[in-house]
Amino acid sequence: MKVFNFYKISLASVLLATPLCVFSLKTLAQTPIIQEPGVIINSGSTNTCQYIIRVLPSGKATYTVCNRKGAGEIKVNTAMKFFNDISAAQPLSKLPYKPCVKSASFGTSTEVSYQGKKSPDISCSTNDYRVTNLYSDTNSIQNELKFSTFRTSGGNPSL
């Protein structure tokens, strides 16, 4: 008798849970997937190449450095942090900009672009955590993609 009740309770649980699962899957299927990349633009300098990195929330990334294209993948946690920091920094164009002195040979500027909006140069030190977080993200992403921006004697990066 107790075995029968166990099966009866199990069957009732499955029957009650099924509509909830179907509803959850339907909601998930209707949720739009963000496919717009966050873009990192670094100006390069006398000794380093300009680069552009396009990152998707999945961690997939493409980049162009010294006019050479590449692709890679960053950690999903790094990508999530980058997009969370972009969200916290909205509107990007209104982030504070504090000019700084830069080396003629190695001084670069770094900007972040997302959904048609672009930040000012975020590479100068500031007390605004949004700028600091975004700049840290851009460095982490470039490091995880493992490409070099230094020019070789032929003008191309040393990859």
Highest-pLDDT range among 21-25, 90-94, 152-156: 90-94
Model confidence at 104: pLDDT above 60: yes
pLDDT digits (tens, 9 = 90+) for 48-75: 999 999 999 999 999 999 989 999 999 9
Residues 140-148: what's their mean pLDDT? 95
Q: Which of 158, 4, 140 is nearest to 80 (CA)?
A: 140
pLDDT at 78: 98
- pLDDT (tens digit per residue) in 8-52: 665 556 555 555 545 455 555 555 565 799 999 999 998 899 999
* pLDDT of 153 over the 60 cut: no
Confidence at 158, pLDDT banded by 50, 70, 90: very low
Residue among 98, 122, 102, 100 at smallest CA distance from 39: 122
